[in-house]
A and B are shown apart, each in its own frame.
Chain A
Amino acid sequence: MDNKKTCLYDKHIALEAKMSPFGGFVMPIEYTSIVDEHQAVRHHCGIFDVSHMGEVLVSGEEAEKYVNHIFTNDVTGAPDGKIFYGMMLYPNGGTVDDLLVYKKSLHEFFLVINAANIDKDYDWMQQHVTGFDVKLENLSEKLGEVAVQGPESEKIIEKLFGIKIADLEFYTFKETEYEGEKILVSRTGYTGEDGFELYGSHHFINNAWDILVNSGEVKPCGLGCRDTLRFEVALPLYGHELSADITPIEAGLGLFVKTEKPEFIGRDAILHQKMEGITKKIVGIELCDRAIPRNGYEVEADGAIIGTVTTGYHTISNDRSVCMALIDSKYAKLGTPVQIRIRKKLFDGTVVKKRFYDKNYKK
Chain B
Amino acid sequence: MSKIIEGLYYSDSHEFVKVEGNTAYVGITDYAQQQLGNIVYVDMPDTDDEVSKDEEFGAVESVKAASDLISPISGKVIEVNESLVDNPELVNKDAFGNWIIKVEMSDPSELDSLMDAKAYENACE
Q: Which residues of A contact B (CB under 8 A)?
A: 29-30, 33-35, 224, 227-228, 290-292, 294, 313-314, 316, 342-343
Contact = CB atoms under 8 A, between A and B. Distances in A.
7 contacts: A30-B37, A33-B37, A34-B64, A224-B63, A228-B63, A291-B41, A292-B61
B41 A35 contact: no
Contact of B38 (A34, A290, A294, A343): A34
Contact of B66 (A34, A294, A316): A294
Contact of A314 (B37, B40, B65, B85): B40
A227 B65 CA distance: 13
Contacts of B61: 292, 314
B117 interface: no
B78 interface: no
A294 B40 CA distance: 13
A228 B41 CA distance: 16
Interface in B64-108: 64-66, 85
Nearest to A34: B63
Contacts of A343: 43, 59, 66
Nearest to B61: A292
Please name the 10 residue pairs, one residue from A and one from B, whose CB atoms are nearest each other, closest first: A34-B63, A35-B38, A314-B40, A292-B61, A292-B41, A33-B38, A290-B41, A33-B37, A224-B64, A34-B38
B43 A291 contact: yes
Contact of B40 (A227, A292, A342): A292
A310 B107 CA distance: 43
A319 to B, nearest CB: 9
Nearest to B42: A290
Interface string B37-69: 110110100000000000000010101111000
A228 B40 CA distance: 13
Nearest to A344: B56
Nearest to A38: B63
Contacts of A33: 37-38
Nearest to A313: B63
Contacts of B59: 343
Contacts of B85: 290
Contacts of B37: 30, 33-34
Nearest to B58: A343
Q: Interface on chain A toward B: helix, strand, loop, or mixed SS?
A: mixed
Nearest to B66: A294
A343 B65 CA distance: 13
Nearest to B63: A34
A335 to B, nearest CB: 25
A295 to B, nearest CB: 10
A87 B37 CA distance: 35
A35 B63 contact: yes
Contacts of B64: 29, 34, 224, 227
B41 A314 contact: yes
A30 B63 CA distance: 11
A298 to B, nearest CB: 15
A349 to B, nearest CB: 15
Nearest to B59: A343
A316 B61 CA distance: 14
A142 B43 CA distance: 47
Contacts of A227: 64
Nearest to B86: A290
A227 B64 CA distance: 9
A294 B66 CA distance: 9
A195 to B, nearest CB: 21
Nearest to B56: A343
Nearest to A297: B66
A197 to B, nearest CB: 24
A250 B40 CA distance: 31
Contacts of A29: 64
A292 B66 contact: yes
Contacts of A290: 41, 85
Contacts of A316: 63
A227 B63 CA distance: 10
Given A224-B64, A314-B41, 18 more contacts: A30-B37, A34-B37, A34-B38, A34-B63, A35-B38, A227-B64, A228-B63, A290-B41, A290-B85, A291-B41, A291-B43, A292-B66, A294-B65, A294-B66, A314-B63, A342-B43, A343-B43, A343-B66
A314 B61 CA distance: 10
Nearest to A18: B37
B71 to A, nearest CB: 15
